[in-house]
Structure 1
Amino acid sequence: ALYICVPPYAHGPAEFAAVEAGVPFFVEKPLATDLRTAEEIAERVAEAGLATATGYHWRYLDTVRVARELLAGREAGLVHCYWLDRVAPPWWWVDRALSGGQVVEQATHVLDLARLLLGEVEHAYAAAVRHAGNAFATRIDDATVATLRFASGAIGTLASTCLLPCKHRAGLQVFADGLALDISESELVTHAGEDLRHLPADQQAAKTRADRAFIDAVQGRAADIRAPYAEALRTHRLGCAIAASVAEGRPVTLEEEP
């Protein structure tokens, strides 16, 4: 088996080599800086029937399981996703051509949970800003906002920025019939009527579960892989659609899978 932990711009050769050799692989997110590379990898993985897993470890948080249970049978109408942070340390992060940009590389975690909890997004419209005084202005956006329309009829927003000196917050808020959820990597806050609860989340345990599931699959045991490559591709499509909307200045419709 193989773990592929390369910068976003370097995806492709390792995955293609793994498929050619018939080697199962775990790949870090994002899947690529672009959509075409990830789509081609997904096609070859499907043809080969390989076991794969991806680094969307938020799906393995116990608090996300609780959130899904609380939402079962309720109609979620609104989600607000946010990633409000600083410029990430890696040298390649500040160049969209190398990282894919903040939405594709970083906020992809909260977009993934939005899909998990509310279903697929049909339409996305986004705008971004770059300040002239920002040393990275020619290479990466300072802030991005997006509106999302889900197939279920729910609506959502995404707000991301890297203008801050340190991480402010990252997560999402979900509003359903009689229920509000505030989900982050560190806790779940539930608000139903007068009942307000704070449930801590174990980030390290979630990462360990993601690794364990992949290893179990490789060793032929029952495995709980929650984000195989094909599933992660759906999240990557959403991030790329938001980036395309920013670049083209228009709403983008996500294509239905054949």
Structure 2
Amino acid sequence: MTRLRVGCVGTGFIAGRHLAALSGFGDVEVVAVADPVRERAEVAAARVGARAHADGLALLDAEELDAVWLCVPPFAHGPLETAAVARGLPFFVEKPLALDLDTAREVARQVEDRGLTTAVGYHWRQLDVVRRAARLVPAGAARLVTGSWLDKTPGVPWWPRRDGSGGQVVEQTTHVFDLARLLAGEVVSVAAAERPAADDGDVSTAAVAVLTFASGAVGSISSTRVLGWRHSVGLQVVADGQVLELTERSLDDHELRVVTADGEEVHHTDADPIAAEDREFVDVLLGRAERVQVPYAEALRTHALACAADRAARDGGTVRL
């Protein structure tokens, strides 16, 4: 059996989920882990029998890899992807693609020029409940879309700062924007507003975006970070004669509720979407599958939408895509 030699840059929560999945695959060998805090790199590497590095570029310089997972904060994107492209190294990258749109566009150009295989962590697309929802609302069927990410502020110091996270809309709510694109099609314009930041940084405490879709559908997506718990993360789609509600209670707890005049159906899954997206990328690299669901170019469309919503909120105008 062919085994992929892979590395992982980052050791946070989501990196840990990827490392757990990858180390459980019989056709993958995790050979290296990197983190700017050396102790964290050593602990994570020891769990999977890998070597530790003090940063991602050092890992890319030192190791012979078949692919790399880039699970870093938004502010760290750009140089790592450029280094991977220069080496012709396929990469999986966690969302968001970058702090801004220009950085992501430049990486996308490099990836396209090199013809590199990539994947991005919009994990909802791996779920059977999301695929079921997509079948129930074919192209152009959605009339109204409403979404939300109502949550607490993550506890890492870089998150409340725009130069660290890019803001809640870009860093978190991007998942909801991705679902909206998947189920209702492309957005042609965004208007938005936000409530000013709190004392902990310059990321707004609440924001709402109003979307106009190419199909004629309209929608709104709201974000807030002022709660002490995750209250609501999900998307509601209204089509003729039916309402679909997708909810994420946790990374391993997703639900689809389908409501019609005849009653409602509830579909639940506790599948691991992180392991599923890792398996998909590995299978593509090993030639067992044709393509990934979210390559870099597809993720760029969602990132552009989230960045447009963020800019519209800060400028108080309408952004056309």
TM-score range, shorter chain: over 0.9
The answer for the alignment partner of 2:117 in structure 1 is: 51
The answer for the alignment partner of 1:170 in structure 2 is: 233
- Aligned-partner residue type, residue 143 of structure 2: G
- Aligned-partner residue type, residue 207 of structure 1: I
Q: Deviations over 1:110-156 (max 9, x none)?
A: 1001001111100000000026xx322x5110000110000111001
| SS of corresponding position for 1:2 | strand
The answer for the alignment partner of 2:267 in structure 1 is: 199
The answer for the alignment partner of 2:202 in structure 1 is: 139
Q: Deviations over 1:148-171 (max 9, x none)?
A: 000111001011000101110100
Post-superposition shift, 1:193? 1.4
1:176-255 to 2 correspondences below 5 Å: 176-185=239-248, 186-204=254-272, 206-254=273-321
State whether residues 63 and 200 of structure 1, in contact with CA within 8 Å, keep that contact through their aligned partners in structure 2. yes
Task: Select the residue among 68, 72, 90 that pairs with 1:2.
Answer: 68
The answer for the alignment partner of 2:27 in structure 1 is: none
State whether residues 33 and 99 of structure 1, in contact with CA within 8 Å, keep that contact through their aligned partners in structure 2. yes
Task: Select the residue among 204, 223, 241 that pairs with 1:160.
Answer: 223
- Aligned-partner residue type, residue 127 of structure 1: A
| SS of corresponding position for 1:146 | strand
State whether residues 214 and 223 of structure 1, in contact with CA within 8 Å, keep that contact through their aligned partners in structure 2. no
The answer for the alignment partner of 2:182 in structure 1 is: 116
Greater relative contact order (CA < 8 Å, ≥ 6 in sequence) = 1
- Aligned-partner residue type, residue 82 of structure 2: F
Superposition misfits of 4+ residues, deviation over 2 angstroms: none
State whether residues 95 and 120 of structure 2, in contact with CA within 8 Å, keep that contact through their aligned partners in structure 1. yes
Structure 1, unmatched stretches of 5+, are none
Distance in 1, matches of 2:97 and 2:139, equals 32
Normalised by the size of structure 2, how large is the TM-score?
Answer: 0.76
Matched, 1:76 2:142: yes
State whether residues 139 and 185 of structure 2, in contact with CA within 8 Å, keep that contact through their aligned partners in structure 1. no
Identical columns (%): 50
Distance in 2, matches of 1:141 and 1:223, equals 41
State whether residues 193 and 209 of structure 2, in contact with CA within 8 Å, keep that contact through their aligned partners in structure 1. yes
| SS of corresponding position for 2:159 | helix
Post-superposition shift, 1:194? 2.0
Count of aligned pairs? 250
The answer for the alignment partner of 1:91 in structure 2 is: 157
Distance in 1, matches of 2:304 and 2:319, equals 11
Distance in 2, matches of 1:51 and 1:226, equals 12
Normalised by the size of structure 1, how large is the TM-score?
Answer: 0.94
- Aligned-partner residue type, residue 316 of structure 2: G
Relative to structure 1, the CA distance from residue 15 to residue 74 in structure 2 (aligned partners, 3 Å threshold; closer, same or farther) is: closer
Distance in 1, matches of 2:103 and 2:184, equals 27
Post-superposition shift, 1:30? 0.2
Relative to structure 1, the CA distance from residue 73 to residue 112 in structure 2 (aligned partners, 3 Å threshold; closer, same or farther) is: closer
- Aligned-partner residue type, residue 97 of structure 1: D
Distance in 2, matches of 1:231 and 1:187, equals 24
State whether residues 74 and 177 of structure 1, in contact with CA within 8 Å, keep that contact through their aligned partners in structure 2. no
Post-superposition shift, 1:218? 1.3
Q: CA RMSD in A?
A: 1.2
Structure 2, unmatched stretches of 5+, are 1-66, 249-253
State whether residues 25 and 52 of structure 1, in contact with CA within 8 Å, keep that contact through their aligned partners in structure 2. yes
Distance in 1, matches of 2:156 and 2:98, equals 16
Matched, 1:62 2:137: no
Distance in 2, matches of 1:202 and 1:114, equals 22
Relative to structure 1, the CA distance from residue 181 to residue 239 in structure 2 (aligned partners, 3 Å threshold; closer, same or farther) is: same
